[in-house]
């Protein structure tokens, strides 16, 4: 997926995808992928030179596509939200019911290892959302699909009522972080945790969660201090 970030009255993050040659599109995709991986693991202050090295492109190519770090950050954030939207739509179309769709979406999300709530990208993405309408719209489209799956699975009596999509976002973020597990079991830990999550989401008598359900809107509120 090739994505473009535009900021009203400001420079766009590179040319429109349709206007790029095939090799230029591939370079842009490599840059965004490399930046996403580095931003999530090392933080957004990682050097642009390192991004270029990870992407396998020259510094000149990187700066032609993304003249500054903010444009690259916004492109990464938009890429994440639009990919999540594609996953959600695909799961919705394939699933025979809302629970099956939600199940498929969460499995694909886990495979892509997108952390949104507690990764090094969390605060920068919040800041980028404030000044970028296109980014907010992309986030809202994804959340609307996600919340629809949650609500309909609850209406079907399969998903517990005291859960909101924000609860699931928080868990998924933890799921894709490094676990610190021993090397011989580390590869299986995310899959085990995902199965536990899916089991816990189903209606189970006698299980009461503290507090209230965390909604998609709650994810936009200021986070609490240490």
3-state secondary structure of 172: helix
Q: What is the pLDDT of residue 205?
A: 62
For residue 170, what pLDDT band results from cuts at 50, 70 and 90?
A: confident
Please say whether the beta carbons of 183 and 133 come within 8 A.
Answer: no
Residue 129 located in a structural domain = yes
Residue 124 located in a structural domain = yes
Average pLDDT over every residue of 142-169: 94
Report yes or no on whether pTM surpasses 0.85: no
Residue 148 located in a structural domain = yes
Copy the structure tokens of residue 84.
Answer: 């999540």
Of the candidates 223, 4, 209, the one whose C-alpha atom is nearest the C-alpha of residue 119 is 223
Cα distance between residue 17 and residue 3, in whole Å? 7
Tell me how far CA of residue 184 lies from CA of 120, 130, 150, 181, in angstroms: 27, 43, 35, 8
* pLDDT of 193 over the 60 cut: yes
* pLDDT of 117 over the 80 cut: no
Q: How many CB atoms lie within 10 A of CB 113?
A: 16
Q: What is the pLDDT of residue 153?
A: 97
Which CATH number covers residue 97? Answer: 1.10.357.10
CB neighbour class for 23 (10 Å; exposed up to 12, middle 13-18, buried from 19): exposed
Domain that holds residue 133: 17-220
Residue 213 located in a structural domain = yes
Average pLDDT over every residue of 6-20: 42
Copy the structure tokens of residue 41.
Answer: 């693991």
* pLDDT of 224 over the 70 cut: no
Residue 5 located in a structural domain = no
Copy the structure tokens of residue 206.
Answer: 């006698």
Based on the structure, what is the number of domains in the chain?
1
Copy the structure tokens of residue 183.
Answer: 């090397």
* pLDDT of 50 over the 90 cut: yes
Distance in Å from the first CA to the final CA of the chain: 37
Residue 3 located in a structural domain = no
Residue 225 located in a structural domain = no
Q: What is the pLDDT of residue 195?
A: 87
Q: Which residue has the higher pLDDT, 13 or 204?
A: 204
Residue 32 located in a structural domain = yes
Cα distance between residue 120 and residue 131, in whole Å? 19
Average pLDDT over every residue of 101-121: 79
Q: What is the pLDDT of residue 10?
A: 36
Average pLDDT over every residue of 110-122: 69
* pLDDT of 61 over the 80 cut: yes
Highest mean pLDDT among 35-39, 143-147, 193-197: 143-147
């Amino acid at each position: 997926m090739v994505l473009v970030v535009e900021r009203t009255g400001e420079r766009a993050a590179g040319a429109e995808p349709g206007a790029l040659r095939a090799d230029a599109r591939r370079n842009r995709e490599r840059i965004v992928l490399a930046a996403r991986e580095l931003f999530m693991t090392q933080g957004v202050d990682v050097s642009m030179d390192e991004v270029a090295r990870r992407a396998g492109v020259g510094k000149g190519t990187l700066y032609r596509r993304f003249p500054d770090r903010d444009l690259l950050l916004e492109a990464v954030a938009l890429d994440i939200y639009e990919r999540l939207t594609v996953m959600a739509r695909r799961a919705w179309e394939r699933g025979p019911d809302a629970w099956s769709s939600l199940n498929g979406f969460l499995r694909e999300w886990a495979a892509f290892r997108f952390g949104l709530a507690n990764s090094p990208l969390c605060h920068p993405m919040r800041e980028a959302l404030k000044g970028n309408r296109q980014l907010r719209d992309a986030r809202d489209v994804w959340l609307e699909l996600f919340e629809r799956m949650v609500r309909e699975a609850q209406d079907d009596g399969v998903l517990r009522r005291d859960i909101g999509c924000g609860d699931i976002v928080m868990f998924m973020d933890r799921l894709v972080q490094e676990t610190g597990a021993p090397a011989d079991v580390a590869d299986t830990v995310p899959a085990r945790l995902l199965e536990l999550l899916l089991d816990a989401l189903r209606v189970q008598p006698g299980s009461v969660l503290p507090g209230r359900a965390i909604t998609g809107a709650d994810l936009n509120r200021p986070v609490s201090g240490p």
